[in-house]
Chains A and B, each alone.
Chain A
Amino acid sequence: MSAAIELRGLTKTFGANRALDGIDLDVPTGSIYGFLGPNGAGKSTALNIIAGLSRPTAGSARIFGEDVTTAPDTVRAMIGYLPDVPGFYAWMTGEELLRFCGQLFGLRGRTLDERVAALLDLAGLVGVRTPVGGYSRGMRQRLGLAQALINAPKLLLLDEPTSALDPLGRKMVLDMITGLAGRTTIFFSTHILDDVQRVCDRVAILDHGRVIVEAPIEELLERTGPRDLLVELGSPDEAATIATALAGAAWLSGQTLDGARLTVTTTDPDTAMREIPREIGARGLLLRRMELIEASLEQVFVDLIEQDGR
């Protein structure tokens, strides 16, 4: 099966500015794919090309094997797109807007009725009779997501879908996205790392128009540098004893003492988790707690962007 999105040497220039610099990317079918990057990294430019709104300067973008520039109608029939700031006809109601969008995909009759009803329900807009012009930002974003799903797309493109929302609105939109897992491929651009960690299973990080890393999230987190282990002993003295005993270990890259708590930074968490309890046991000390602190995507992201900057 072809990749949902296949970018090869995708380049876009605006005058002297190289917004995309030869991107190569494969987005697996069925994945929820996070497209991360700082502001101005080129995320929206790439999405605009994939959605057929803009043309690449060089390279190609294929959606399920179809080139976006030579088969735009075929591509548009397969995708749903939610822009950063969705624009709606303010005089339409949410239901009218969904009907209009559905009709543009050729949907009619009972199929259209059922789909509109289901999507209004999904977006929490059942019974809302006010025109879209009176909607809150959260309602607009949920309606935007609903219209992007009207054709049951094989690929859903979301451009920063949560970045303008309050926590409640953000949760509702993320819940909608999570609910779609396994039913469609979702390509999700954002700079909110927490959202990506919460809903995505693969991620690409973009900076200065280039993909600097692409991997499943778990792999990316494991691939990072030293990890922290939190070790809590019976007393501050015991913590100090263990800190002294561990000094010089090959896997140790640093440690911080805070009362009875010792934070051990290690390049080899597996060895550290074997050796530390052994040292504690050998001295007859009390191990209250030992916990591997999860690497955060934020740390990975900052490290990678800083490395790229260097």
Chain B
Amino acid sequence: MTVLGVLLRKELLEIRRTWRIWVLPAIIMFIAVTSPILAEITPGLVRSLAGSNPDVVIELPDPVALDSYRQLASQLNQIGLLALIIASAGIVGSELRSGTAILVLTKPVSRRDFIVSKVLANLALLVGATIPAVIVCWLLTLAIFGEAPIGTLGAVIALWLVAAGGMLCLMMLLSTLIPAQAGAAGVGIAAYAVLSMLALWGPARSWTPAGVLHGITAVIEETPSGIVGAIVATVVLSVVAVALAIRRFDRSELAARERSS
């Protein structure tokens, strides 16, 4: 097994043995379970609320399977991405603070392998957390609405994985630049807010990651224009972010942490 393989195995074992196995998968699963249920009960809830006031008349169509996907896309786009940003803000910084980076990097290990193993392990966690959640969402949608178009759900999830993967790579870079987890998370959330605003502006949706963010919900109605360019841009920028993270980490000076007592 190569050094990268050893590091990757350690990262995956760490995910399995610590809180990290629960946080992101639990949040994504929660979103997946609640989306079809919310889609089913929301119109009824709104009608019953409006029914208490005879002056208000609200007409809502009966919910359909695509409403379940809309809920899923919307929640993944917001809660899912924010959870990912917060959970991954300390990927590198936590190892620097705890001194474990020094344990590893005084062995014949390249700093590139150190970073790449973290990127690969966290992408695996993202995909591993998403797939079972998607299956649950599809089954619940089918059970509740009697239909569940796989193609549309597949498009939503593919775009979510591109956006989340891109955000993960950005957080890797931020974690090498800002060792404090709260600082990296703050900048990550700011970057997400900027992208969300750009997603509202049509011209920015082509050839920027904002297009992918917009596409997660828009793809349920129709294939968004410029989505291919946005995907390409996100993938390219993700690779650039990881390359910059490696370069930055390679040049940074590490020092053993100081004794606390």
The 4 closest A-B pairs by CB, nearest first: A87-B99, A83-B256, A104-B107, A81-B106
Main secondary structure of the interface of B (DSSP, over half): loop
The residue of chain B having its C-beta at the shortest distance from the C-beta of A87 within the complex is B99
Name the distance in Å between A154's Cβ and chain B's nearest Cβ: 14
Measured in the bound complex, the distance between the Cα atoms of B261 and A151 in whole Å is 30
Q: Does B6 contact A (CB under 8 A)?
A: yes
Q: Are A88 and B100 within 8 A (Cβ)?
A: yes
Contact of A89 among B14, B254, B259 (CB under 8 A): B14
Q: Does A79 contact B (CB under 8 A)?
A: yes
**Cβ < 8 Å to B, chain A residues 99-119:** 100-101, 103-106, 108
Name the distance in Å between A144's Cβ and chain B's nearest Cβ: 9
Q: Are A83 and B99 within 8 A (Cβ)?
A: yes
Query: Considering only CB atoms and an 8 Å cut-off, how many residues of chain A contact the other chain?
Result: 32
A-B contact count (CB 8 A): 86
Q: Are B106 and A53 within 8 A (Cβ)?
A: yes
Name the distance in Å between B165's Cβ and chain A's nearest Cβ: 25
* Residues of chain A with a CB closer than 8 A to B100's CB: 87-89
Q: Are A105 and B107 within 8 A (Cβ)?
A: yes
**Cβ < 8 Å to B, chain A residues 49-95:** 51-55, 73, 76-77, 79, 81, 83-89, 91
Contact of A164 among B108, B109, B255, B259 (CB under 8 A): B259
Name the distance in Å between A156's Cβ and chain B's nearest Cβ: 12
Q: Are B105 and A100 within 8 A (Cβ)?
A: no
Measured in the bound complex, the distance between the Cα atoms of B7 and A100 in whole Å is 8
Q: Mark B1-37, 1 if CB is under 8 A from A, else 0.
A: 1010011001000100110000000000000000000
Name the distance in Å between A163's Cβ and chain B's nearest Cβ: 8
Q: Does B98 contact A (CB under 8 A)?
A: yes
Q: Does B38 contact A (CB under 8 A)?
A: no
- B residues near A (Cβ < 8 Å) are 1, 3, 6-7, 10, 14, 17-18, 98-110, 253-261
Q: Does A44 contact B (CB under 8 A)?
A: yes
Say whether, besides A76-B106, A104-B107, A105-B107, A84 and B256 are in contact (CB < 8 Å): yes
A-B contact pairs, 20 of them (CB 8 A): A53-B106, A53-B254, A79-B106, A81-B102, A83-B102, A83-B256, A84-B257, A84-B259, A85-B99, A85-B259, A87-B98, A88-B99, A88-B100, A91-B17, A101-B103, A103-B1, A104-B107, A105-B107, A106-B108, A164-B259
Q: Are B108 and A104 within 8 A (Cβ)?
A: yes
Q: Does A159 contact B (CB under 8 A)?
A: yes
Given A79-B106, A87-B101, 15 additional A-B pairs, CB 8 A? A48-B254, A51-B106, A53-B253, A84-B257, A84-B258, A85-B259, A87-B102, A91-B14, A100-B6, A101-B103, A103-B1, A104-B7, A104-B107, A105-B107, A106-B3
Q: Are A104 and B109 within 8 A (Cβ)?
A: yes
* Residues of chain B with a CB closer than 8 A to A83's CB: 99, 102, 256-257
Name the distance in Å between B1's Cβ and chain A's nearest Cβ: 7
Contact of A73 among B99, B108, B256 (CB under 8 A): B108
Measured in the bound complex, the distance between the Cα atoms of B17 and A213 in whole Å is 50
Measured in the bound complex, the distance between the Cα atoms of B104 and A106 in whole Å is 13
Q: Does A162 contact B (CB under 8 A)?
A: no
Name the distance in Å between B61's Cβ and chain A's nearest Cβ: 51
The residue of chain B having its C-beta at the shortest distance from the C-beta of A163 within the complex is B259
Measured in the bound complex, the distance between the Cα atoms of B103 and A79 in whole Å is 12
Q: Does A147 contact B (CB under 8 A)?
A: yes
The residue of chain A having its C-beta at the shortest distance from the C-beta of B6 within the complex is A103
Q: Mark A26-37, 1 if CB is under 8 A from B, else 0.
A: 000000000000
Name the distance in Å between B13's Cβ and chain A's nearest Cβ: 8
